[in-house]
Amino acid sequence: MAAKLKKPAAKKKPSPDDEVAAFLSDLDHPLKTDIEAVRKLVLGTSATIAEGIKWNSISFRRADWFATVNLRSKDVIQLVFHIGAKVKDNPDLKIADTNGLLLWLAKDRALVTLGSGKTLKANAKAFEAIVKAWLKYV
């Protein structure tokens, strides 16, 4: 009588939440606490926002990716805002920015600089308004 071989258990792909938690656990960044605060701000803006690891950083999405934390910046928190992974023709982005947080990189991309510490906290409401306005395009 031949012995039956057990199938190895299928490896479960980590959920995006687990992926982000593991990424943050391993992250060695001087502004890690501020990065976590910005993550909560973005996710708190709308229940329709999900997160994951894209472009070797924490990124946010709805139907498509729209913002990615710029981990190269070591003294201020920055996010690259875009309207998806691929360039779209003639986007008509209208985003109010009364605090001067946005630097337009192209017609469909902007760099949002939030500062760190107290400056980040002071910019939180203006940043939330930018996220809400951006969501109209993704």
DSSP 101: -
**In this predicted structure, what is the pLDDT of residue 132?**
96
**In this predicted structure, what is the pLDDT of residue 13?**
59
Q: How many residues does the chain have?
A: 138
Domains, in order of start, for the chain: 16-137 (3.90.1150.200)
> Is 118:103 a contact under the CB 8 Å cutoff?
no
Structure token digits, residue 100: 């001067």
**In this predicted structure, what is the pLDDT of residue 93?**
86
> Is 79:65 a contact under the CB 8 Å cutoff?
no
**In this predicted structure, what is the pLDDT of residue 48?**
96
Record the pTM: 0.84
Q: What is the dihedral of CA 40, 42, 47, 53, to 10 degrees?
A: -90
Tens digits of pLDDT across the chain (138 residues): 555 555 555 555 556 668 999 999 999 999 999 999 999 999 999 999 999 999 899 999 998 899 999 999 999 999 999 987 666 665 678 899 989 999 999 888 999 999 999 999 999 999 999 999 999 888
**In this predicted structure, what is the pLDDT of residue 2?**
56
**How many helices (H) and strands (E) would you count in the chain?**
4, 6
